Amino acid sequence: MNAAVPTPQNEPHTPPSTAEVHAADIQAAQAKISTVIEPTPLQYCPRLSQQYGLEVYLKREDLQDVRSYKIRGAYYNVASLTDEERSAGVVAASAGNHAQGVAYACRAMGIAGKIFVPKPTPKQKRDRILVHGGENIELVVTGNTFDEAAEAARVDATERGATIIEPFDARETVIGQGTVAAEILAQLTGLGRELDSVIVPVGGGGLAAGIVSYLADMSPRTSVVAVEPAGAASMAAAVNNGGPVTLSAIDPFVDGAAVKRAGAFPFEIIERNLGRIHLIASEEGAVCTEMLALYQNEGIIAEPAGALSVAGLNGVKLEPGSTVVCVISGGNNDVLRYAEVMERSLVHRGLKHYFLVNFPQEPGQLRSFLTDILGADDDIVLFEYLKKNNRETGVALVGVELSRASDLDPLLARMEGSPIECRRLMPGTDEYEFIVAS
């Protein structure tokens, strides 16, 4: 699981240049990309509406050709290049979704592109980059984080004189992402509704900055809630610092929004709009729970970042009956990740726990653990002696899955009263990460 405490590194802050994006810019971009990018559905969600007492709509950006909103900013950015810049080619760094947008644009416009992705990028995303880019794209896999891949991309672009297509820290990218807000307002107007709040995922900040820029001009009554993954809250760190800072470590699980450093351009827009945009964080386990709920109830295959906005519903207070739009930002999820998604969700909901159990060198101790400590509805899902040459006694790692979170306290009480030494491993600790998650 590789959870990490996202603490900023000490470094000086260089104020960014003045960032300005207005509704007119976004409307012009919408006209430019409309021949290639069709509007995505705005889907009413009865389940979430009933659960939260709101009128909840889902903006289905996962249904884009590249399964992510990132195609908007990427395509508009590439389309805005001069002929000379197009001839020199483009370079991009991405956790996967922006890269697909750039690949799509390069193939559509006949431009050569070189794309850098970090090693944790799911194979599904890597394959889709090549599908969308075809012979126009060279894919380079390097670095353990987006930021490391981005540095490699910058070096390559400088050496070759190519143009970098930024995933979030560029005016054209922010403008392109802002077209999501233009569509939402138009679609709700067609339904005879006003938009009270929109909930968006935030990583580097491009989508949030574009949306708040459009709404500031066209619907100033609308609030924006920007949801970060708790293990990679780089925008909150930037706001607290007065400018972007580099986090010393992040949890890369929400790969579409896990960046160590927020973008300077979107940060300035977000900081200027802090009266209407609210930053919150969602635990990665909560994101996993919403991913599973979206799939099981609405049939939506959301990637972790795509479920961030829905997870954020738990952290906002809105007037009952408010009209809220959650942006499902992407659906590029590798099926091989679902084991980890389910694991994180169970741990988050308090249904799965791990213990170090020291079995005395006496016969019948395992049977005693099963009959005297475990509850009738508790299941052992992992049992492994830590010393591989000791198969019958000693310390074992035991994973227990509960039917109800409320069953934990009785289980702990039975452990406390047992002669068998049991110690719970707490998620997020170094010990838990070393023993359980490694």
Residues taking part in catalysis: 70, 329
Q: Which residue, among 7, 2, 9, 8, has the nearest Cα to 428 in the 3D structure?
A: 2
Q: What sign results for the dihedral spanned by CA atoms 83, 84, 85, 90?
A: positive
How far lies 23's CA from each of 30, 80, 337, in Å?
10, 17, 38
Tokens standing for residue 49:
């509406």
Q: Which residue, among 84, 74, 76, 79, has the nearest Cα to 162 in the 3D structure?
A: 84
Tokens standing for residue 213:
């820029």
Strand pairing class (352-359; 421-425): antiparallel
Q: Which helix (DSSP H) or strand (DSSP E) does residue 43 occupy?
A: strand 42-44
Q: Which helix (DSSP H) or strand (DSSP E) does residue 397 occupy?
A: strand 394-401
CA distance 360 to 394: 7
Other beta carbons within 10 angstroms of residue 288's beta carbon come to 27
Sheet holding 352-359, edge to edge: 379-385, 394-401, 352-359, 421-425
Q: What sign results for the dihedral spanned by CA atoms 126, 110, 173, 56?
A: negative
User: DSSP of 215-280, one letter per residue?
Assistant: HHHH-TT-EEEEEEEGGG-HHHHHHHHTS---BS---TTSTTT--SS--HHHHHHHHHTTTTEEEE
Sheet holding 197-201, edge to edge: 42-44, 55-60, 323-328, 197-201, 223-229, 277-282
CB neighbour class for 129 (10 Å; exposed up to 12, middle 13-18, buried from 19): buried
